[in-house]
Structure 1
Amino acid sequence: MDKSVPVVSKIFCSGAPTMLMIRRRPAVVNGGGFVVTDLSHSIVFIVDGCGTLGSKGELMVKDGEGEPILSISKKGGIVQALSTRNRWNGYSMDYQGKNKLVFSLTDPKSCTAQDRDCTIVDCTRKIVAQMGKKGLMGGKDFYHVEVQSGYDQAFIIGVMAILDSIHGESTRC
Structure 2
Amino acid sequence: MGGHVNLIPIVSKIFCSSSQVVLTVRTRPHIVNGGGFVVMNCDQRKVFSVDGCGTLGAKGELIIRDGDGVAILFIRKKGGVVQAISIQNQWKGYLMDYNRPDKLVFSLYDPKSFLAMKNVIRISLELKGNKKGWDFEVTGSFHERACTIKDRRGKVVAQVEMKEMMASKDFYKVVVQPGYDQAFVIGVIAILDNIHGESTRC
**Contact 2:150–2:157 (8 Å) recurs in 1:** yes
Which of 42, 45, 48 lines up with 2:48 in the alignment?
A: 45
Which of 4, 8, 21 lines up with 2:7 in the alignment?
A: 4
Report the number of matched residues: 173
5+ residue gaps, structure 2, are 117-140
Which of 16, 23, 26 lines up with 1:23 in the alignment?
A: 26
**Contact 2:36–2:51 (8 Å) recurs in 1:** yes
Residue 109 (structure 2) pairs with residue 106 (structure 1): yes
How big is the shift at 1:96?
7.2
Residue 161 (structure 2) pairs with residue 158 (structure 1): no
Looking at structure 1, the residues matched to 79 and 38 of structure 2 have their Cα atoms a distance apart, in angstroms, of 27
Q: Which has the higher contact order (CA 8 A, sep 6+)?
A: 1
Looking at structure 1, the residues matched to 40 and 26 of structure 2 have their Cα atoms a distance apart, in angstroms, of 8
* TM-score (ref. length: structure 2): 0.81
Alignment match, 2:171 = 142
Moved more, 150-159 or 118-127: 118-127
Identity of aligned residues (%): 60
Alignment match, 1:172 = 201
How big is the shift at 1:2?
5.5
Secondary structure of the residue aligned to 1:21 is strand
Residue type of the alignment partner of 2:111 = P
Alignment match, 2:93 = 90
**Contact 2:75–2:93 (8 Å) recurs in 1:** yes
- Runs (4+) of structure 1 exceeding 4 A deviation are none
Residue type of the alignment partner of 2:149 = I
Pairwise mapping of residues 52-67 of structure 1 onto structure 2 (< 5 A)?
52-67=55-70
Residue 108 (structure 2) pairs with residue 79 (structure 1): no
RMSD over equivalenced CA pairs, Å: 1.6
